[in-house]
Amino acid sequence: MFYAKNPLDPVAIPNSDGWRVTILSVDAALASRLLENNAGNRKLSNASVVRYAAIMRSSGWKTSPEPLIFAPSGRLMNGQTRLNAVKVTGITQNFMAIYGVDESVFSVLDRGRVRTLADAHQAEQGESAVARVLAIVAYNRGSNTVLDSDFLRVLEVTREIHADIVRAAASRPAFFGSSGFRAAAVARILAGESPEFVLGLYRSLAAADVANLPPAGVAAVRGVLSGRWKIGAGSQGTFMTLARAWSLLSEKGQNRNTVPVASSESAVTEVGAVVRQAVQDNENAK
Sheet holding 93-99, edge to edge: 11-12, 20-26, 93-99, 68-70, 76-78
Residue 3 backbone zone (phi > 0: left; psi -120 to 50: alpha; other: beta): beta
40-55 tens-digit pLDDT: 666 777 777 887 888 8
- Its pTM surpasses 0.75: no
Instruction: Report which residue type is found at 208.
Output: A
Q: Which residue has the higher pLDDT, 149 or 142?
A: 149
> Contact, 69 vs 13, CB < 8 A?
no
Of the chain, the percentage scoring pLDDT greater than 70 comes to 80
Candidates 10, 6, 5; CA nearest to 22 is 10
Residue environment code for 4-31, b if the CB has 16+ CB neighbours within 10 A, otherwise e: eeebeebeeeeeeeebbbbbbebeeebb
Query: How many CB atoms are closer than 10 A to CB 48?
Result: 21
Contact 119, 125 (CB under 8 A): yes
Summarised one tens digit per residue, pLDDT across range 115-142 is 444 333 333 667 888 988 999 999 875 5
Lowest mean pLDDT, pick from 79-83, 114-118, 187-191, 236-240 = 114-118
The pLDDT of residue 166: 82
Domains, in order of start, for the chain: 11-112 (3.90.1530), 122-284 (no CATH)
DSSP codes, 2-54: ---SSTTSPEEPTTSTT-EEEEEEE-HHHHHHHHTS-TTPPPP-HHHHHHHHH
178: left (phi over 0), alpha (psi -120 to 50) or beta: beta
